Amino acid sequence: MGLARYGYSRDSRVDRPQVLVCLCLNEEKLPVYFDILEGNTQDKKTVIPLIKTLQKRFSLSQSIFIGDRGMVTVETLEFLKGEGIDYIVALTHRQARKLILDRDIQPELFDKEVPITIYTGEKEKYIL
């Protein structure tokens, strides 16, 4: 069976084992590294080990992590900040709603302009 395992199926085929493919691209959008993991590995468990592997293998001095909601955890964000790695990640609906309410963003703004860019600090920018 190798690395194939039953896990979360993105194509609703829970009857088939799968593998998880990690793909890393360079600034020209060309693949520079990939890894194949067991199919029951959660996406959020892949980020930190993969970045550590890339840092060691390529002696990275600058990089940007781009991930979806399934890859984002508080631990991952703290790791990225601690390593000085820029990132682009998606907010959950709840996080986006909280940001809108906390920043007192008027819902009418979405009638005129989509997306809306919100700056919350020196380096943080949210696009809603």
pLDDT range class, residue 13, cuts 50, 70, 90: confident
**Over 70: is that where the pLDDT of 108 sits?**
yes
Residue-range domain boundaries for the chain: 1-90, 91-128
pLDDT range class, residue 122, cuts 50, 70, 90: low
Pair 44, 73: CB distance under 8 Å: yes
Q: Are strands 86-89 and 117-119 parallel, antiparallel or unpaired?
A: unpaired
Higher-confidence residue of 104 and 64: namely 64
pLDDT of residue 56: 92
pTM: 0.75
Pair 116, 109: CB distance under 8 Å: yes
Give the burial class of 65: count Cβ atoms within 10 A of its Cβ; 0-12 exposed, 13-18 middle, 19 or more buried: buried
Pair 78, 84: CB distance under 8 Å: no
pLDDT of residue 1: 63
Pair 22, 50: CB distance under 8 Å: yes
**Over 90: is that where the pLDDT of 94 sits?**
no
